[in-house]
Structure 1
Amino acid sequence: MAQAAQTMEAASPKPSYHGMITATTGSKAIEGGVEILKAGGSAADAAVATALTQICLAAGSWVSYAGILTMVYFDASTGKVYNLNAGYNTVKAETDAKTLPGVELAELLKDLHGGSYEPSGRTALVPGFMAGVEAAQRRFGKVPFAKVFEPAIDCAEQGFEWNAGLAGQYAFRREVLGRLPQTKAVYTKADGSAYQPGETFKQPMLAKTLRHVAHEGAAYMYRGEWAKKFIDAVQRDGGRMTLDDLASYQPLWTEPMHTSYHGYDIYVHGLPANGGVNLVEAMNLAEVSEVSKLGRYAQSPRATFTLAQILKPAEFFDLVLTDPKIYESVGLDRSLEARAKKESAAKLWDVMRSGRMPTVPAIPSVPAHSDAIISIDRWGNIAAICHSINAVSWGATGINVDGISIPDSASFQRAEIGKVTPGGRLPDPSSPGLVVAKGKPFLGFSSIGAGLHARTVTALISVLDFGMTPQQAINEPSLGSFTLGADGASVLTLGKNEFKPEFISQVEKLGQPLMENDQLRGYWIGVQIDQKTGELHGGAIRELAMGGRAVGY
């Protein structure tokens, strides 16, 4: 398996902090990660410790230990950027993805939560999260493996305050979480009633499982006792996964995707994932279109209109539901490899502005709940992580194995699964990344949400072209994902009440329909290293209920 061979001048910044962590959720998780940094841990140690605790604080809802993890890492000792892919593997025995239980397009158009279907163990995929945690920590960690589990184990044993957000999510999934006795026992009190905001929620079975992994390694979940229980659980509900699917899972160290942009080098999640390709293509389009010369998008209707066109290729032109032959007539190669090339972006921009681009209707973004983390340590190592379940909270099966929730991620990705050899790695849309300026690390970033692509592109342009700090970029009005208009048009969503009505009207007069819809927004985080002073500037999403923030020490 290849390592990233992108070599740069190693640089140790001299920040006002020794290190910093920013994350999308989980103040307690962030604090635990900072304690790991203080104890001599690396950026990788702190990032995976934060991720492990985020899942505990989410009660396995929007992220899970049976989910996935991706990481882009700057190693200060070598000046190299590495890419870790711990995405889902498909199930070897699932040879006809069309027969998988799941959500049809018509249901998605009606309900962004995905509609409903009969619970099935076939909707579980081979998870990569814990294998990714082990791979990242074994390669770049500086503390014992068991230590990065301490904050999460403490969270599970001592508990945390159940909040209104979790109460709302539980209410949405009450029937699902009550389907199986072992799951109901996790999420209800001894008398069978639901937890109320302000009450303490403990997860003793989860704590026991995490202790096993901490001392036995990820093998406990892939070849050990937990693996056997997991397979039994999904097979009882008709699943076709076997112990061989788990035992053969391997995280991948691959080349990061790379492009240059206005004198900066951008490194993001590499193939076979598509998230990095989406971002590289968009930044190449931003460069060739010279969109920044139009002014800040939040102040320039023309810039917002142009950005909307730049954002569309990632959402429409590589859809698995689209016949690729429709692009051959205009000379476009939409393979992932071709899309990442600057010459492809130049050709694409010529086709787009000439009006010859084939019309493809928007399809609502599939809900893909996630968390993100950026950490930097005293040595200048940087970890950019995204971990996800690529499904709606907890999934619709209600399977829980020794405290670990099992999402129904296959139900939303049947078309993508159909393009992968059974047992192969499933592409993911995440795009954690790093920006390097003149050989020195400049910015670590990651994002979550249905509109993560738009949020990442606009934030990078704000920081790289307009000199904003990460927090200033986050505070800018948000562009989101696309949805389908009544007339079949591709409608770009905006954060509610973030743009003035006259601004929206001007963009629509240019030909881009807009709609306010916070459901389809994205969330971006970043840590920037000042190239002159070495100071660290972190940015976090403060409006999220679960307490995302940037913490330095």
Structure 2
Amino acid sequence: MNFDPYCYQYPSRRNVVYGSKGMVATSHPLAAQAGLEILKQGGNAVDAAIATAAALTVVEPTSNGLGSDNFAIIWKDGKLHGINGSGRSPQSFDLEAFREKHWQTVPDFGWASATVPAASKTWAVLAKSMGNLPLTASMAPAISYAQDGHAVAVTTAFNWNKAFEKYRKILSGKEFASWFKTFSPAGRAPRPGERWICPDQAYTLKMIAQTDAEAFYRGEIAEKIVAFAQQTGGFYTAEDLAAVEPEWVDPISVNYRGYDVWEIPPNGQGIIVLMALNILKGFDFTHRDDPETYHKQIEAIKLAFADGFRYVADQRYSRVPVSEMISEEYGASRRELVTDKARMPEAGRPEACGTVYLCTADDDGNMVSFIQSNYAGFGSGIVIPGTGIALNNRARGFSLDPHHPNVLAPGKRPYHTIIPGFLTKDGKPVGPFGVMGAFMQPQGHVQVLMNTIDFSMNPQEALDAPRWQWIEDLVVEVEPGFPSWAAQKLQRMGHHVRCALDSNSFGRGQMILRTECGTLVGATEPRTDGCVAAW
């Protein structure tokens, strides 16, 4: 099917947003406005992405924070650049010590779940190498939100209260006391519209901005992190923090119906998107809501996840056969396994977690796809006293199987769920896209891309459309609004279909595309407090 991505003819629940000089799309209006403010001050799309990402740590702490990791794909100077801002495990992590505790998996909370965060170092590297403005300028809006306060958004308040109710029942050690002091000082989560102020985080943000993140990794903030680890049985050392360094990488891609779809290579799971698309491009699709379409999408995702869970790991420790996994030949061989019945894959359990996504574009042609996350909600439950730093629980991505390539080891990056996406055609940028939500992310990428390319939807309609997600084995969840008749047909095809009560676990995404006349068109999710800020 011939498809012009700039010729939108279909209505949606809300309209796409157009702009000509710049655009920021993300899950929170205040964060989007922060990015737009920086564009208007002379910053480029990279500066705007830093401003938005920093602001999100303040206005959406339920999904990311100063203890997060991040990844980005950047179109600049006529080419794509990738950066891997995922942290590594502390050098004192020891597989046998974990196994002696009879843990089957890495714990959900506590120091054993936290890798060394790299988010703020990534901001500093990007600002210095690709930005127009110093970090002090780009981070100023985030500092203001933390210092002067902001009104808590509806979705953020819901997730905050959900976390608080869970944490007060299960987090009782002294290492967790600072979480409650920092994020529930009134003995509860903040309510929608209530002003939230976090002076500790404001101070840490200032120190990061003024020192290009050196204070976080070698200075005053680093000292506080290491001291708290020593006091509460943590693993971090000064050497672990000083060793943090984001890695420039070459994005990987497959061609899908004339469009090049780009993802970050492993240790991220973006390769799963590419494997699924390689399987799907061998089929013809005419209707999005055809059960046959859903069935083939689900089967392709299951096959791709089976390979992803088997091979994705830190490539410094185990060679991931990237070129083989995304080859045309391998895609064709996997496609042969798709029949008219649901199949049982051998894979782990995908489930949704906490992440923020953003994308930016400027008047000079630069575009950024950026994603940042604690992993699950607030992360490990550990907050460094006096800093507002909530540490991630990314170590949950490791396997404790000594024979698995993704096995836990010192100084190693885990299997990482967060994945920024980018679309090009004939060597020219079409635009950034992303869908947050742990193992929903590859599934969301595939569905949004096919909505856009195969079914000619505009960006807003592509994001709005009801989704499915594979959970485990033959279990598939569908969100409210998914066609009931299609769900019934999937059930007859062997899928175990269950209807979700809400849309919280089906991802939250954004997209910005550049039109043929040089303007920008963007969209954000109805599943979040999202906003597209345009200039």
Fold conserved between structures, TM > 0.5? yes
**Does 1:27 pair with 2:29?**
yes
Q: Partner residue of 2:507?
A: 522
**Does 1:279 pair with 2:292?**
no
Between the aligned partners of 2:307 and 2:382, the Cα distance in structure 1 is: 32
Question: How has the CA–CA distance of structure 1 residues 256 and 250 changed in structure 2, closer, same or farther, with 3 Å as cutoff?
Answer: same
Question: How has the CA–CA distance of structure 1 residues 365 and 399 changed in structure 2, closer, same or farther, with 3 Å as cutoff?
Answer: farther
Match of 2:457 among 468, 471, 479: 468
Q: Partner residue of 2:220?
A: 225
Q: Partner residue of 1:142?
A: 132
Between the aligned partners of 2:393 and 2:115, the Cα distance in structure 1 is: 8
Q: Partner residue of 1:543?
A: 527
Between the aligned partners of 2:293 and 2:532, the Cα distance in structure 1 is: 30
Q: Partner residue of 1:410?
A: 395
Q: Partner residue of 1:495?
A: 479
Question: How has the CA–CA distance of structure 1 residues 207 and 334 changed in structure 2, closer, same or farther, with 3 Å as cutoff?
Answer: closer
Question: How has the CA–CA distance of structure 1 residues 358 and 543 changed in structure 2, closer, same or farther, with 3 Å as cutoff?
Answer: closer
Query: Which stretches in structure 1 are left out of the alignment for 5+ residues?
Result: 1-14, 106-113, 323-332, 484-488
Between the aligned partners of 1:278 and 1:160, the Cα distance in structure 2 is: 38
Question: How has the CA–CA distance of structure 1 residues 428 and 98 changed in structure 2, closer, same or farther, with 3 Å as cutoff?
Answer: farther
Which deviations, in whole Å up to 9, do the C-alpha atoms of 1:80-123 show, x marking residues without a partner? 10000001211212131671779757xxxxxxxx9x87x64232
C-alpha deviation, 1:366, in angstroms: 4.7
Give the TM-score of the pair, scaled to structure 1. Answer: 0.83
Question: How has the CA–CA distance of structure 1 residues 64 and 549 changed in structure 2, closer, same or farther, with 3 Å as cutoff?
Answer: same
CA RMSD of aligned residues (A): 2.9
Equivalent position SS for 1:47: helix
Report the residue type matching 2:416 in the other structure: D
Q: Partner residue of 1:55?
A: 57
Is the Cα–Cα contact under 8 Å of residues 420 and 433 in structure 2 kept in the other structure? yes
Between the aligned partners of 2:110 and 2:384, the Cα distance in structure 1 is: 10
Question: How has the CA–CA distance of structure 1 residues 232 and 296 changed in structure 2, closer, same or farther, with 3 Å as cutoff?
Answer: farther
Match of 2:362 among 377, 380, 387: 377
Report the residue type matching 2:299 in the other structure: Q
Match of 1:18 among 7, 18, 21: 21
Equivalent position SS for 1:282: helix
Between the aligned partners of 1:242 and 1:26, the Cα distance in structure 2 is: 34
Q: Which moved more, 1:230-239 or 1:209-218?
A: 230-239
Equivalent position SS for 2:462: helix
Report the residue type matching 2:373 in the other structure: S
Which deviations, in whole Å up to 9, do the C-alpha atoms of 1:106-145 show, x marking residues without a partner? xxxxxxxx9x87x642322111101111112211101122
Question: How has the CA–CA distance of structure 1 residues 490 and 181 changed in structure 2, closer, same or farther, with 3 Å as cutoff?
Answer: closer
C-alpha deviation, 1:419, in angstroms: 2.6
**Does 1:79 pair with 2:81?**
no
**Does 1:441 pair with 2:426?**
no
Question: How has the CA–CA distance of structure 1 residues 431 and 99 changed in structure 2, closer, same or farther, with 3 Å as cutoff?
Answer: same
**Does 1:482 pair with 2:494?**
no
C-alpha deviation, 1:389, in angstroms: 1.1
C-alpha deviation, 1:197, in angstroms: 4.2
Report the residue type matching 1:186 in the other structure: T
Between the aligned partners of 2:458 and 2:117, the Cα distance in structure 1 is: 35
Between the aligned partners of 1:97 and 1:264, the Cα distance in structure 2 is: 46
The 5 Å alignment of 1:167-186 reads 167-174=161-168, 176=171, 179=174, 180=176, 182-186=178-182
Is the Cα–Cα contact under 8 Å of residues 233 and 401 in structure 1 kept in the other structure? no
Report the residue type matching 2:510 in the other structure: I
Q: Partner residue of 1:296?
A: 287
Between the aligned partners of 1:306 and 1:259, the Cα distance in structure 2 is: 18
Give the TM-score of the pair, scaled to structure 2. Answer: 0.86
Is the Cα–Cα contact under 8 Å of residues 493 and 521 in structure 1 kept in the other structure? no
Q: Which moved more, 1:178-187 or 1:503-512?
A: 178-187
Q: Partner residue of 1:5?
A: none
Equivalent position SS for 1:35: helix
Question: How has the CA–CA distance of structure 1 residues 130 and 102 changed in structure 2, closer, same or farther, with 3 Å as cutoff?
Answer: farther
C-alpha deviation, 1:304, in angstroms: 0.8
C-alpha deviation, 1:266, in angstroms: 1.9
C-alpha deviation, 1:401, in angstroms: 5.2
Which deviations, in whole Å up to 9, do the C-alpha atoms of 1:35-72 show, x marking residues without a partner? 111111111100111011011012x3320111101000
Equivalent position SS for 1:281: helix
Q: Partner residue of 2:488?
A: 505
Between the aligned partners of 1:144 and 1:367, the Cα distance in structure 2 is: 35
Q: Partner residue of 1:308?
A: 298
Is the Cα–Cα contact under 8 Å of residues 67 and 389 in structure 1 kept in the other structure? yes
Between the aligned partners of 1:395 and 1:286, the Cα distance in structure 2 is: 37
Equivalent position SS for 2:434: strand
C-alpha deviation, 1:350, in angstroms: 1.9
C-alpha deviation, 1:193, in angstroms: 6.5
Q: Partner residue of 2:315?
A: none
Q: Partner residue of 2:70?
A: 69
Is the Cα–Cα contact under 8 Å of residues 366 and 412 in structure 1 kept in the other structure? no
Question: How has the CA–CA distance of structure 1 residues 354 and 308 changed in structure 2, closer, same or farther, with 3 Å as cutoff?
Answer: closer
Equivalent position SS for 1:319: helix
Is the Cα–Cα contact under 8 Å of residues 384 and 432 in structure 1 kept in the other structure? yes
Report the residue type matching 1:99 in the other structure: F
**Does 1:203 pair with 2:198?**
yes
Q: Partner residue of 2:7?
A: none
Q: Partner residue of 1:338?
A: 324
